[in-house]
Amino acid sequence: MITVLPDHIANQIAAGEVIQRPASAVKELLENAVDASATAIQLIINDSGKSLVQVVDNGKGMDEQDARLCFGRHATSKISRIEDLFCIQTMGFRGEALASIAAVAQVELRTRTASSDTGFYIEVENSQLVKATPVAAPQGTSVAMKNLFFNVPARRNFLKSNAAEMRHIIDEFTRVALAFPSISFSLHANNQQLFQLESGTLKQRVVQLMGAAYESRLVTVKEETDYLNIRGFVGKPDTARKTRGEQYFFVNNRFIRSAYLHHAIMSAFQGMLAPDHFPLYVLFIDLDPQQIDINVHPTKQEIKFEDEKIVYAFVQAAVKHALAQFSITPTLDFDLDASIQQLSSVQQPFTEDKRSAAADSSIFRSFTKKNQAHLIQPSGFTAYSPDWTASEPASVTATPLLPSEPDEHPLRVTSLLSGYILYPNRDGLWIIDQQAAHERILYEQLQQSSVEQPVPAQRTLFPITLTLPVADAALLQELLPALNLLGFLLEPVGPGSFTIQATPSDSPSGQEKTIIESLLEEYKHFNSDAGYTIREKLIRSLVKQRRIKSGTLLNEKEMRELVVQLLACQQPGQTPDGRPTYVALSSDYLATLFIR
Ligand code: ADP
Ligand code: MG
């Protein structure tokens, strides 16, 4: 039997496409405020948006008629003809956002236009008008979305932890704030001010959002052609981080994701970045709207270019050009485009001043390390780098034999090059996967840490300041207590900043920041695993981070220690995620193989 769905159910279903989580409402409401020509926009959040998302703007406002209409499906003042779709200048245009929000939450709208003395107030719940009345109001609009999904419990249960939802909100806020630096924005969450962004230049906005550390570390990108323009900033290579999250593309001022263009940028940075590091970029590409196919689905952030290859080449060249002007490139042997080789900055003599600046940079360091022939050293200076000695095959050093083993005969091991350890014993032959075994060992060691017995930590020689993008900082904040037991002592010192006071005593010093950044990155992979506690997720992340990789060559002593420790584990046979750590070939099985 076919039945026609009641309106409010149909609306709820349609709303699911547009409003998936509090952050979707944040995006829509901020964009409406921008479209209304606001110069100041406030975002107010309670309970990570689950109980309140409110946007207050000083834009043009709505009169009573528009206020009554705006919650209707396909209510929009922004397009009236189908042709308009192809030259949209505003952010929203499908007239679905407010209707969708009203279908899945309680909404309070307060608005006034410049030409009216009194404002208008409307309350809508479950797509039903609850209240409509004139009211005193400042010019502009305030939309408050309360109790998202109060009428769709299944969706409400689907929402992630407060930290995760807050991160999505900050992501959306950041994107809109980057796209409109001339508008001032503020963000308050649970009555705490997280951001107060004054109107300014794009550079100021980037620094406000990403941290003062970028003040002198941004490289301007700016190229104009008849086909498209690009403008914005990339971070100098030495600011690249192991965690992603500071990479932004905007096409015609709209945030997009593009793995393809990301690749173009990474290739422009080729040879300048430490492995697995990502540079900051905030780039705006402007081109004729006819040349792109915005997927008109409002929540999709993908885009199709008419000619993708041109855009790729252009982005890559623009970033290379910008980096060449930053004048580190001449010492390195990049295959620069001929046009770039002509640039005066590339041809300028390499002065002593620049040399010392370059020597400090990570590009130079990684270059000289990789290619010793190019290492320039003041005379009388002997290089000693713990890194280099560590990369020598460890087996060169003489190793004292272990004292006699608990087993009657000494524990003998041999390695296979591919990261397996052969361990013959009374029962036959074990083939141990060194990486998997180490995962099990680390996992059980970390599990044993407790309040009474935290992982031993060592103080850093000097306090180290770690500054993170706000979303990462929010995540780290949440992890601090659990991290403490695991040997990491960090203290928040202002927005987005922490001092690292101690790290586990077996972790290499000098790499504290990288260790924590890459730990966060590992953690994000587990973050949506609802089944695990924070501590469990952290332990699993630490295991991933610290395990001996298959490619590492172990000496005999190290292999023996690994085997002894594995045998001491409670569940020696499996990694934490259930892969085997060893395969046992019994003597009997070997006999059958050889048809004895
Ligand atoms: P769209 O933005 O796609 O037009 P929305 O559902 O987001 O659809 O908004 C519907 C209409 O309500 C808009 O076209 C606009 O006329 C009006 N509106 C929404 N928010 C605001 C605001 N903050 N200030 C002024 N008008 C607004
Ligand atoms: Mg809109």
In whole angstroms, what is the distance from residue 203 CA to residue 206 CA? Answer: 5
C-beta 45 within 6 A of ligand 1 = no
How would residue 316 be classed by pLDDT, with cut points 50, 70 and 90? very high
Q: What is the pLDDT of residue 585?
A: 86
The pLDDT value given to residue 38: 98
Query: What is the reported pLDDT for 525?
Result: 84
Q: On the CB side of 205, how many CA atoms lie within 13 Å of its CA? A: 22
| Listed range (268-277, 346-355, 372-381) with the worst mean pLDDT | 372-381
Closest listed residue to residue 256, CA positions, set 234, 277, 283, 279: 283
Walk me through the domains of the chain, giving residue ranges and CATH numbers: 7-197 (3.30.565.10), 202-325 (3.30.230.10), 393-596 (3.30.1370.100)
pLDDT at 445: 87
Cβ atoms of 482 and 540 within 8 Å: the answer is no
Determine which residue's CA is closest to atom 17 belonging to ligand 1.
70
How far apart are the CA of 201 and the centre of ligand 2, in A? 25
pLDDT digits (tens, 9 = 90+) for 489-522: 999 998 889 999 989 888 877 788 988 998 998 8
Closest ligand 1 atom to residue 298 Cα is: 3
Identify the pLDDT of residue 344.
40
Closest approach atom of ligand 1 to CA 95? 8
Smallest CA-to-CA distance from 53 within 38, 42, 61, 69 is with 42
Report if pTM > 0.85.
Answer: no
- Judge if the beta carbon of residue 522 lies within 6 A of ligand 1: no
Confidence grade of residue 222 (pLDDT, cut at 50, 70, 90): very high
- Looking at residue 50, what is its pLDDT? 95
H or E element that contains 7: helix 7-18
Most confident of 62-66, 416-420, 457-461, 540-544: 62-66
Q: Which residues pair with 196 in a beta bridge?
A: 186
Compute the distance between CA of residue 110 and CA of residue 112 in angstroms, rounded to an integer.
7
- Whether 194 lines ligand 1, by a CB cut-off of 6 Å, is no
From the alpha carbon of 97, which atom of ligand 1 is closest? 6
- Does the pLDDT of residue 403 top 80, yes or no? no
* Nearest ligand for residue 107 CA: 1
Bigger pLDDT: 163 vs 300: 163
Looking from the CA of residue 100, the nearest atom of ligand 1 is 6
* Mutate-to-test residue for ligand 1 from 98, 110, 142, 145, highest number of ligand atoms within 8 A of CB: 98
For ligand 2, an ion, list residues with CB under 5 A.
Answer: 32, 92, 97
3-state SS, residue 343: coil
Ligand 1 contact via 33 beta carbon (within 6 Å): yes
Task: Say whether pLDDT at 305 is over 50.
Answer: yes
- Beta carbon of 68 within 6 Å of any ligand 1 atom: no
Q: Which of 35, 80, 139 for a ligand 1 pocket mutation test, highest count of atoms within 8 Å of Cβ?
A: 35
Closest ligand to Cα 100: 1
The pLDDT assigned to 362 comes to 33
CA of 58 to the centre of ligand 1 (A): 14
Tell me the average pLDDT of the chain. Answer: 80
488 secondary structure, DSSP code? -
Cα-to-centroid distance, 29 and ligand 1 (Å): 8
pLDDT mean over 465-483? 90
Q: Which two tokens stand for residue 413?
A: 């091991």
Closest-CA residue, ligand 1 atom 19, reads: 32
Q: Is there an atom of ligand 1 within 6 Å of 282 CB?
A: no
Higher pLDDT, 407 or 524: 524
> 198 has which bridge partners?
none
Mean pLDDT of 200-210: 93
Q: Whose CA is nearest to atom 21 of ligand 1?
A: 32
Task: Please say if the pLDDT value at position 394 is more than 60.
Answer: no
Does the Cβ of 93 fall within 6 Å of ligand 1?
yes
